[in-house]
Amino acid sequence: AQKITQTQPGMFVQEKEAVTLDCTYDTSDPSYGLFWYKQPSSGEMIFLIYQGSYDQQNATEGRYSLNFQKARKSANLVISASQLGDSAMYFCAMREGYNQGAQKLVFGQGTRLTINP
């Protein structure tokens, strides 16, 4: 079964608009972490934001915020005031467990975001 699902293969947004990238996950482990990464055409993976399963508040990092709905098992990324430089591939990822050995990341299929001027 797919552990991380990103249902939007591609998104097109006008510059300065906000955009929400969807991510749902599946796990029976009560301890897990959710990540969002940005991958521009150069290929590097850029860490954007992290949400722990026990975190009470939604994570925020500058223009990025994570809409964490635990009961729905969703962890959508919200980018406010989008910029042309935000055009890239975006991956949602999950890590299960809460110990030193639980470091493996499982990635979703990705969403290609294109910001139009």
Partner 1 sequence: GAVVSQHPSRVICKSGTSVKIECRSLDFQATTMFWYRQFPKKSLMLMATSNEGSKATYEQGVEKDKFLINHASLTLSTLTVTSAHPEDSSFYICSAVTSGRAFSEQFFGPGTRLTVL
Kindly give, in sequence order, each residue whose CB lies less than 8 Å from that of residue 62, ignoring residues fewer than 6 positions away.
Answer: none
Pick one of 12, 102, 114, 116: the residue that binds partner 1 (CB under 8 A).
Answer: 102
**Can residue 98 be called a binding residue for partner 1 (CB under 8 A)?**
yes
Count CB atoms within 10 A of the CB of residue 32.
20
Shortest Å, Cβ 16 to partner 1:
27
**Can residue 64 be called a binding residue for partner 1 (CB under 8 A)?**
no
Tokens of 116: 């139009």
Which ranges of the chain would DSSP assign to H, the alpha helix? Answer: none
Smaller CB distance to partner 1: residue 14 or 114?
A: 114
Smaller CB distance to partner 1: residue 86 or 108?
A: 108
Pick one of 25, 36, 90, 91: the residue that binds partner 1 (CB under 8 A).
Answer: 91
Q: Is 86 helix (H, G, I), strand (E, B) or coil?
A: helix
Shortest Å, Cβ 89 to partner 1:
8
Size of the site for partner 1 (CB under 8 A): 24
Cα-Cα-Cα-Cα dihedral sign, residues 20, 25, 111, 88: positive
Stretch that binds partner 1, among 20-28, 32-40, 61-69, 74-82 (CB under 8 A): 32-40
- DSSP secondary-structure letter at 53? T
